[in-house]
Amino acid sequence: MKIQLRRLAMLAPVAAWVGLMALLPATAQAQSRPLRIIVPYAAGGPIDVTARVLAERVRDALGPVIIENKPGGGGTIGADLVAKAAPDGLTLGIAALATHAINPWLYDRMPYDAIADFAPVTQMLRVPNVLVMNTDTARRLDINSLADLIRYAKAHPGRLNYGSGGNGSGGHLAGEMFKAQAGLFAVHIPYNGGNPAQLALLSGQVDFNFDNLATASGNIKSGKLRALAVTTAQRSPALPDTPAVSETLPGFAVDTWWGLVAPAATPKEVVARLNQAFAAALNNPDTRLRFAALMAEPVASSPEQFGSFMKSELAKYEKVVKASGAKVD
């Protein structure tokens, strides 16, 4: 009898705590767990690195933050995990150009709706792409500017080619947009990833690429690649002397971007709290300095602004992907 009473006495505080938790809202109970950010790509890339930087910056405001890398399916696997997660404010994910603007038109079947299944929190970053040529190729063909490239391509239809990280990749679609707006033809050569495409350009196997500025900057500085234009609507602070494509082809704009989203049913007040914390982290001078080393520009936005931006990007790439004929089964 004494042993049973002792056991009951030991269990009483536990029972009381369980009873108290049962009376609390689900969101309050959830605060005992850390916030997680699902990155739909492998560790070590720019998206993963920037997510980890922000995770450090918001700890004081939001508590512990863990990063979970869920690569695969061009980012669709990780994005789908976010879409189907509990809307308790403790699961966020990265929405990127591929996962939320390109893949919905590239894949025949998608496990999530890029708009309806997510609650935008804030855009995080944008990174310019840059049209680059092998310096030796540019010198041999006497191409010193974007206008020179367009002029040469029109005078020699099909003689130029460009590489990309694969059919439907950002570099491929930027190339297709460029060809359509400039009214020229160049042969697309897809590679299995961005690194092989860059190696092909450096070795002279292809004539030009639309590459990520963070990836291309080292070879631009060393003189191996010639930067003809950046793809952002305006010139990039990272390459102030390099014109934007839009200066020759008005309206041309291609950014590599990513931001934070939550499951669609996440309460608005929770989204607002998350937005406030991450926007402050993005605007922190030390954070901006760290991102500048990656050629990435922080873009803190309201949930409404990020939502509108994603819708516009989705509509833009519907036309581009369908015109390119790119598909992934």
Superfamily of domain 128-247: Periplasmic binding protein-like II (3.40.190.10)
Most confident region among 18-27, 60-69, 316-325 by mean pLDDT: 60-69
pLDDT over 50 (residue 310): yes
What b/e string do you get for 171-210 counting C-beta neighbours within 10 Å, with b at 16 or more? bbbbbbbbbebbebebebbbbeebeebbebbbeeebbbbb
- The correct CATH number of 35-127+256-324 out of 3.40.50.1820, 3.40.190.150, 3.30.360.10, 3.40.50.720 is 3.40.190.150
Q: In this model, does residue 101 exceed pLDDT 80?
A: yes
Classify residue 229 as exposed, middle or buried by CB count within 10 Å of its CB (0-12, 13-18, 19+).
buried
Top-ranked range on mean pLDDT: pick from 32-36, 215-219, 266-270: 266-270
C-alpha span between 185 and 158 (Å, rounded): 6
The domain segmentation of the chain, as residue ranges, is: 35-127+256-324, 128-247
User: Which tokens is 79 given?
Assistant: 């994005």
pLDDT band, very low/low/confident/very high, at 329 (cuts 50, 70, 90): low
Q: What's residue 17's pLDDT?
A: 35
Does the pLDDT of residue 283 top 80, yes or no? Answer: yes
The predicted structure's pLDDT at residue 32: 66
Instruction: Retrieve residue 168's tokens.
Output: 């439907």
By percentage, how much of the chain surpasses pLDDT 90? 77
Work out whether the CA dihedral 27, 30, 34, 35 comes out positive or negative: negative
Q: Which two tokens stand for residue 20?
A: 């108290």
- Is residue 101 within 8 A of residue 184, CB to CB? The reply is no
Please state which of the ranges 20-24, 35-39, 52-56, 288-292 shows the lowest mean pLDDT. Answer: 20-24
Contact 50, 291 (CB under 8 A): yes
Dihedral pair phi/psi, residue 328, rounded to 5°: -125, 125
User: CA torsion angle for 296, 150, 101, 294 (degrees, to 10)?
Assistant: -10
The pLDDT tens digits for 5-32 are 344 344 444 333 333 333 334 444 445 6
